[in-house]
Amino acid sequence: MSRAFSLHGRKALVTGANTGLGQAIAVGLATAGAEVVCAARRAPDETLAMIADSGGKAQALQVDFSDPMVACDIFGGQDIDILVNNAGIIRRADATDFTETDWDDVMDVNLKAAFFTSQAFARALFAGGKPGKIINIASLLSFQGGIRVPSYTASKHGLAGLTKLLANEWAARGINVNAIAPGYIETNNTEALRADPDRNKSILERIPAGRWGRAEDIAGAAVFLAAPAADYVHGAVLNVDGGWLAR
């Protein structure tokens, strides 16, 4: 692997690393050479096993990001230089029926925790005089409205804006802050959509690539943004959507 895409000697923390996109990203970063801290509410045993099977190095960190301030003490002594803010939740209901609890729960995990985890990470890097990379996992709903997911849409719009704000503040201090906006990906969260023949057909008809994305498609983008190849990329929200937004 060329140096431009090598993560050897780097250490990454991936939140929500026990399943889906977070799992694929953790495995992808490890395959590229990084040591990976797999942070999740439940023990990420499967992810650790996948990384070990590929010859990589990883460790688990059980943490519940429903407390958005939980990350404030994570980075002391960890020597982490790549942060992937992937942990997220979604709640569905008509806007007229949406509860304050569902609003707050989603915003706390998807936006507030991402900000304060990034803040703690940046403070640790600045204290050590080190550069680093932050990759936020945004969404197509960072650009579109969607339906019946008001707090999710608001949080993902906010995360795209936060990505740019932090890039503006921290680029000159050696931290690259970027985001990935996944399209329709084959994960547990989209299983019901894929099982519905009508919804599956309408989604595929909109995707120029003609297929659902795979979690590995997002992992490749994360490796790029974490690697030296992206050292001059700041404040970008990279769509990995099979061309959905271009349609």
Q: Which amino acid is at 102?
A: D
Q: Taking the mean position of all CA atoms in its chain, how far away is CA 125?
A: 20
Look-up of token digits 């059980």: 62
Q: Residues 178, 235: contact at Cβ < 8 Å?
A: yes
* Integer angstrom CA distances of residue 191 from 183, 185, 195, 200: 14, 10, 6, 10
Q: Choosing from 115, 152, 224, 244, which is the catalytic residue?
A: 152
Which residues, in sequence order, are bridge partners of residue 62? 40
Which residues, in sequence order, are bridge partners of residue 213? 185
Which structure tokens are listed for 70? 């939980």
d(CA 174, CA 88): 27
- Please name which of 120, 111, 165, 119 lies closest in space to residue 139, comparing C-alpha atoms: 111
- Please name which of 25, 128, 5 lies closest in space to residue 85, comparing C-alpha atoms: 25
Helix (H, G, I), strand (E, B) or coil at 239: strand
Which structure tokens are listed for 59? 């460790």
152 flagged as catalytic: yes
First to last CA, the chain: 34
d(CA 70, CA 101): 19
Active site (catalytic) residues? 152
